[in-house]
Chain A
Amino acid sequence: MASPNPVFKQFPIPEASQVPGFLASCPMLSGVDQAELALLASELRLVRYEDGTRFFTDESPTHRSPLRFITHGRATWDSNRSSDQKSAWMLTPGSVFGLEAVNDWARRQAIDGVWIRGEMPLIRCQALGVVWVLELPADRFDAVFLPEDGRPALTKLLQMVPTLCSAPDIVASMRAIPQFARAAPVNLYKLLEWAPTTVMYPVIVLDPNNQGEEPDPQPGPAALYYVIDGEVKVQVADESKSIEVGELDGADLFATQSEAASISPPVVTSETAVVTLTRTALEACMRSLPGFGRTLGPRDEATKATP
């Protein structure tokens, strides 16, 4: 790792009461309870990096890299898998980086839910202006993530690893559908911070008396799915869709509640890794990014609102 040491300054540990609230508001940790973040919060230190600091240069963070939560400022994030211009993908307050380091550490600890190291892209990451981060040194991963209290946060962070690795492809797929065609890539990358990757398994019917019968359909989440590995089948209204690797499809994220009630949960026939972007996540992003809602949908119907 290109050491940022010459240009950083560490500050006293921030107020313990403030950090869990901040962490809980980070998109990548959404859904994790503040109490479950207390252990992580207690180990974080506040660090200031100067303008131009290079965090990574053509490398993938290893188990020796720290985990960082941006609290103030921004940094560019360029993946070697992306053809996007520098600054099209920005880390902003609430973004987390160094997830690959946590993944690498978890792999060494033989923890479930890790991703294969060979798939990690090479990264260039540079501070654009002064950046403040809450930093968890790599030598504190054991203390934070091995206890049961730290597992919910670890699980959530690991779920974000493949999303970020595939983010350039997902953004490209999103820009190809009318709902997101006008949105700026920088906002779509931000939206993906609310989209974890989960591994789905085929449903095994354990009740021998019920074998062969279809289970009662339950409404699934209104979500778009991007398949990283495997195949997903979704039923929306009367239409069945099969989503294969590298494809983005699923339910109508802008649908109203009655339409959402007709959506069945996704079905897989083998172990499948899927990035899931729910309607709830989209709404959270719309509340968080002023102007984002206005850029959703295709262009040609945008005309003056009339009485």
Chain B
Amino acid sequence: MTAYSLYPLVTHTSMTMVLADPSVDRTNLPLAAVVELLAETVRVELEDLVWVLHVVWDDPPLPPPPPSSPPTEIRVPLVANVTTFVNAALIDFSERWGIAFDQVLIETSGIDPTGSLNAALWAAMVGLPCTSCVDYLVDDPEVWNMLPATIGILPLVTVQPVALLGPMPEAHVIKTLLIELLAISNSMNPGQAAADWLTDAIATHRFRAWLRRWITVVTQMYGSTAFKPPAWPLDAVRLRFDGNPTVILPTPADDNIASFSRWGRTVTQRRVGLAIGGAGAQSYVGIPFIEQLIDAGVPIDIMSGSSTGAFITAFYAALGDKGLLRMLLNSNTIGWGVFFALVNNMPLTWWLGWATHFVDLGDLAQPVVAVATAVDQGDAVHMTSGLAGKSLMASGSMPPFVATYIGNTRLLDGGLSQDVPTAVLNSAGASLVLAAQSIPKVMAIPSVPEFIPVPYLTKYAITLNPVVRLLDYYRGFITLFRQAAYSQEQYAQVFYSATTQFSSAGTWFAGPRIAHEAANSQALQDAVAEAVVYWNELLLDAPGRVRINLGTKRVEVGPAVELGYVFDEGLAQLRLTDDASRVVSEVAKFVTNIGSSLTVEFRYPPTNPPNADHETLITTTAGPAPVVFLLPVLEPLLTTLTFDLAIL
């Protein structure tokens, strides 16, 4: 077989333009500073080489920047066609400076403070010689849904939806109200305090918000979709900013830090998805999995789950560590709710809603995909909006427990169609998918030894025993489920198959014991260790990456890039490897552009020192670029002649 190149050579940056829809309130969103902060986040947290280009009007006209340093602005003449000019400038930047950066962020508020030029700027991203993307900020899903009608039908560019979430809905409304009433009654002048409270509540539309929320919750709780909010796009990155995110004094808000981190991972295609499979109380293995991943420094950007796996992911997304604790402390409550769900699942639905603060899945900054099964089609349904409690109940409606209606769709447990929903995480933009498969092998039952004779009629009586048959059915169900869950391993890089000593899918009181046992299991530790390795790999460059680090002046190449020589049998002479030929050519073009020189340092084994021919091949490939050969370095462990490149 021909020796294949295993990796493509990547010599160009990626470009991302950040645009905000005209409907977005920019009062607390200074886009230029926000993009700079995003770039800084990527530099610090992900160690990528990032550059920010601001698109501004060339008013007053300024001379072009010196060619020795990358421009920070694209200055558009007032009379120019914005699309054509910006497109040409981006192509030029990519060709001149693309090799020096991993990521270029383009910010346009200087030319377009209101978003009225979005279509023209979007079109400027078409036809770039590098990977290009538009990050489009919206604060309402319906604005995103109407985009073709508002912005038009534009040539294709990959568009990353960026959802700007509002503040989390008020939690503990009654508790808060009681505290406020207590404060009023204890005040010096209760009458005046009550009047002030009432005035403030009216001014801030608090009653209206309560009423709207109450209607939304109750109607959804009983299956109506009349007030169900529209869903964010599946792949949207969700940001929740507390005030102006660029104001970092005295300390930045936690939500802002987390939002920039999530956005940074999205821009650089490093999102991590976590899927937790459903298996009743056995899904509690997902709790230590989440805890240990976070402790190990593996971020979680998107989550999916079915049944109890969906409970855990939604509780974590809504309440953080407290959500996981709430799951642990309330395993008996859930157990009773499941018991009653044989005839009515509303008690459990209300509890799930209350326990998640009646939050909507669309309000969660960490998107959760709760998976259920549509009975009529036998298809998986991916729920990313709607009342979390109701969606979770639908995701956990395992027969023989009652089904859940959302609208006119009758839904059953998500485990029936996708127990470990991994593929949906790929579609939602996760580059690394971690999964917890919670279904254990059925416990072995002691069998009668072969040497003990059992009469045929006894065996026949056992086969007819309804209790035994019910148990057989249950165990067969679990076994099939487990097999099905493994079919979803192919979409995940890390597939944690949980093992616990006693499997207890239906005994909810055992949830904390299962979580504790899993937390100390070797399987979990191995899975977390594997996840850390994958996450660290995701932080690295592609093996075929070539870039010039302007800070160190070195040409950095991935391990798959061969900078050396081969003997060409056709030409019967030595030549540069194909990688080396292209890298030298690209770097030479770069140094010519900036008026610098290319430096070459040979590394050679004792048997193959460099000579004039080797140098000639490089200078010929470099063309007009000045080349400086440094003193070669002897490296006894090398078997072939290689070289390093740098710029002066």
Partner-B contacts on A (CB < 8 A): 11, 14-15, 18-19, 21-22, 24-26, 46, 48, 51, 54, 57, 71-74, 83-88, 90, 93-94, 124, 126, 128-130, 132, 134, 178-179, 184-187, 236-237, 239, 252-259, 282, 286-291, 293-299, 301-307
Chain A residues with Cβ under 8 A from B540's Cβ? 302-305
Chain B, Cβ-Cβ closest to A294: B542
Distance A93 CA – B157 CA, assembled complex (angstroms): 9
Distance A298 CA – B554 CA, assembled complex (angstroms): 26
Are B4 and A254 in contact, CB atoms less than 8 angstroms apart?
yes
Are A294 and B152 in contact, CB atoms less than 8 angstroms apart?
no
Checking B14, B130, B153 against A134 with a beta-carbon cut-off of 8 angstroms, the contacting residue is: B153
Chain B residues with Cβ under 8 A from A126's Cβ? 379
Q: How far is the CB of B43 from chain A (nearest CB, A)?
A: 16
Checking B126, B133, B145 against A290 with a beta-carbon cut-off of 8 angstroms, the contacting residue is: B133
Query: Given A11-B149, A297-B6, A25 and B156 touching (CB < 8 A)?
Result: yes
Distance A288 CA – B205 CA, assembled complex (angstroms): 45
Q: List 14 A-B contacts (CB under 8 A).
A: A18-B154, A51-B230, A51-B231, A85-B418, A86-B417, A86-B418, A88-B423, A130-B230, A186-B423, A252-B5, A287-B131, A296-B7, A297-B542, A305-B541
Query: B37 within 8 Å of A by Cβ?
Result: no
Query: B269 within 8 Å of A by Cβ?
Result: yes
Distance A155 CA – B314 CA, assembled complex (angstroms): 48
Q: B542-572: which residues lie under 8 A (CB-CB) from chain A?
A: 542-545, 547, 549, 552, 554-560
The 8 A-B residue pairs with the shortest CB-CB distance, nearest first, are A291-B269, A256-B578, A254-B5, A297-B7, A85-B423, A305-B541, A88-B423, A130-B145
Chain B, Cβ-Cβ closest to A178: B6
Are B10 and A293 in contact, CB atoms less than 8 angstroms apart?
yes
Chain B residues with Cβ under 8 A from A74's Cβ? 233-234, 427
Q: B333-385: which residues lie under 8 A (CB-CB) from chain A?
A: 377, 379-380, 382
* A-B contact number at CB 8 A: 205
Distance A259 CA – B562 CA, assembled complex (angstroms): 15
Are B4 and A46 in contact, CB atoms less than 8 angstroms apart?
no
Chain B residues with Cβ under 8 A from A84's Cβ? 423
Query: Given A57-B377, A302-B543, A297 and B560 touching (CB < 8 A)?
Result: yes
Chain A residues with Cβ under 8 A from B543's Cβ? 297, 301-303
Query: B600 within 8 Å of A by Cβ?
Result: no
Are A289 and B158 in contact, CB atoms less than 8 angstroms apart?
yes
Q: How far is the CB of B385 from chain A (nearest CB, A)?
A: 9
Query: Given A14-B152, A57-B377, A293 and B234 touching (CB < 8 A)?
Result: no
Chain A residues with Cβ under 8 A from B158's Cβ? 288-290
Distance A239 CA – B1 CA, assembled complex (angstroms): 7
Given contacts A85-B421, A129-B234, 18 further A-B contacts (CB under 8 A): A11-B149, A18-B152, A18-B154, A26-B156, A73-B233, A85-B418, A90-B427, A93-B156, A94-B156, A130-B230, A132-B147, A132-B148, A184-B491, A254-B4, A288-B158, A289-B131, A297-B6, A305-B559
Q: B438-457: which residues lie under 8 A (CB-CB) from chain A?
A: none
Are B155 and A22 in contact, CB atoms less than 8 angstroms apart?
yes
Chain B, Cβ-Cβ closest to A307: B554
Query: Given A18-B153, A293-B10, A296-B8, A301 and B579 touching (CB < 8 A)?
Result: no
Q: How far is the CB of B208 from chain A (nearest CB, A)?
A: 27
Chain B residues with Cβ under 8 A from A25's Cβ? 126, 155-156
Q: B250-271: which residues lie under 8 A (CB-CB) from chain A?
A: 268-269
Chain B residues with Cβ under 8 A from A252's Cβ? 2, 4-5
Query: Given A72-B147, A287-B131, A303-B559, A179 and B379 touching (CB < 8 A)?
Result: no
Distance A87 CA – B582 CA, assembled complex (angstroms): 39
Distance A259 CA – B3 CA, assembled complex (angstroms): 11
Chain B, Cβ-Cβ closest to A54: B377
Distance A259 CA – B577 CA, assembled complex (angstroms): 11
Chain A residues with Cβ under 8 A from B423's Cβ? 84-88, 185-186
Distance A234 CA – B554 CA, assembled complex (angstroms): 41
Q: How far is the CB of A148 from chain B (nearest CB, A)?
A: 25
Checking B9, B154, B422 against A85 with a beta-carbon cut-off of 8 angstroms, the contacting residue is: B422
Are B544 and A297 in contact, CB atoms less than 8 angstroms apart?
yes
Q: How far is the CB of A233 from chain B (nearest CB, A)?
A: 14
Query: Given A287-B130, A288-B156, A301 and B491 touching (CB < 8 A)?
Result: no
Q: How far is the CB of A110 from chain B (nearest CB, A)?
A: 34
Chain B, Cβ-Cβ closest to A78: B379
Q: Which of B10, B382, B543 has the most CB of A within 10 A?
A: B543
Chain B, Cβ-Cβ closest to A254: B5
Chain B, Cβ-Cβ closest to A291: B269
Query: B613 within 8 Å of A by Cβ?
Result: no
Distance A9 CA – B413 CA, assembled complex (angstroms): 32
Are B148 and A72 in contact, CB atoms less than 8 angstroms apart?
yes
Chain B residues with Cβ under 8 A from A237's Cβ? 2
Chain A, Cβ-Cβ closest to B582: A256
Chain B residues with Cβ under 8 A from A93's Cβ? 156, 159
Q: How far is the CB of A119 from chain B (nearest CB, A)?
A: 24
Chain B residues with Cβ under 8 A from A134's Cβ? 153
Chain A residues with Cβ under 8 A from B525's Cβ? none
Query: B581 within 8 Å of A by Cβ?
Result: yes
Chain A, Cβ-Cβ closest to B152: A18
**Contact indicator per residue, chain B 98-116, by CB within 8 Å of chain A (1) or not (0):** 0000000000000000000
Chain A residues with Cβ under 8 A from B131's Cβ? 286-290, 293
**Contact indicator per residue, chain B 578-620, by CB within 8 Å of chain A (1) or not (0):** 1101100000000000000000000000000000000000000
Query: B431 within 8 Å of A by Cβ?
Result: yes
Checking B5, B153, B156, B380 against A46 with a beta-carbon cut-off of 8 angstroms, the contacting residue is: B153
Distance A130 CA – B145 CA, assembled complex (angstroms): 6
Checking A48, A87, A132, A178 against B4 with a beta-carbon cut-off of 8 angstroms, the contacting residue is: A178
Distance A255 CA – B557 CA, assembled complex (angstroms): 17
Q: How far is the CB of B225 from chain A (nearest CB, A)?
A: 10
Query: Given A85-B418, A85-B422, A128-B382, A305 and B558 touching (CB < 8 A)?
Result: yes
Are A258 and B578 in contact, CB atoms less than 8 angstroms apart?
yes
Distance A128 CA – B155 CA, assembled complex (angstroms): 22
Q: Which of B128, B153, B549 has the most CB of A within 10 A?
A: B153
**Contact indicator per residue, chain B 422-433, by CB within 8 Å of chain A (1) or not (0):** 111011000100
Are B6 and A185 in contact, CB atoms less than 8 angstroms apart?
no
Are B554 and A71 in contact, CB atoms less than 8 angstroms apart?
no
Chain B residues with Cβ under 8 A from A22's Cβ? 153-156
Chain A, Cβ-Cβ closest to B147: A72
Query: B242 within 8 Å of A by Cβ?
Result: no
Are B556 and A305 in contact, CB atoms less than 8 angstroms apart?
yes
Chain B residues with Cβ under 8 A from A298's Cβ? 6
Chain B residues with Cβ under 8 A from A178's Cβ? 4, 6
Query: B132 within 8 Å of A by Cβ?
Result: yes
Chain A residues with Cβ under 8 A from B537's Cβ? 299, 302
Query: B517 within 8 Å of A by Cβ?
Result: no
Chain B residues with Cβ under 8 A from A88's Cβ? 423, 426-427, 491
Checking B268, B382, B491, B560 against A185 with a beta-carbon cut-off of 8 angstroms, the contacting residue is: B491
Are A305 and B156 in contact, CB atoms less than 8 angstroms apart?
no
Chain B, Cβ-Cβ closest to A297: B7
Chain A residues with Cβ under 8 A from B424's Cβ? 85-87
Q: How far is the CB of B316 from chain A (nearest CB, A)?
A: 22
Are A21 and B155 in contact, CB atoms less than 8 angstroms apart?
yes
Distance A85 CA – B435 CA, assembled complex (angstroms): 15
Query: B644 within 8 Å of A by Cβ?
Result: yes
Chain B residues with Cβ under 8 A from A282's Cβ? 8
Query: B488 within 8 Å of A by Cβ?
Result: yes
Chain A, Cβ-Cβ closest to B130: A287
Chain B residues with Cβ under 8 A from A257's Cβ? 578
Checking B7, B10, B129, B152 against A15 with a beta-carbon cut-off of 8 angstroms, the contacting residue is: B152
Q: How far is the CB of B50 from chain A (nearest CB, A)?
A: 14
Are A239 and B2 in contact, CB atoms less than 8 angstroms apart?
yes
Are B431 and A291 in contact, CB atoms less than 8 angstroms apart?
yes
Distance A109 CA – B360 CA, assembled complex (angstroms): 52
Q: How far is the CB of A64 from chain B (nearest CB, A)?
A: 22
Chain A residues with Cβ under 8 A from B16's Cβ? 290
Chain B, Cβ-Cβ closest to A257: B578
Chain A, Cβ-Cβ closest to B555: A307
Distance A93 CA – B644 CA, assembled complex (angstroms): 43
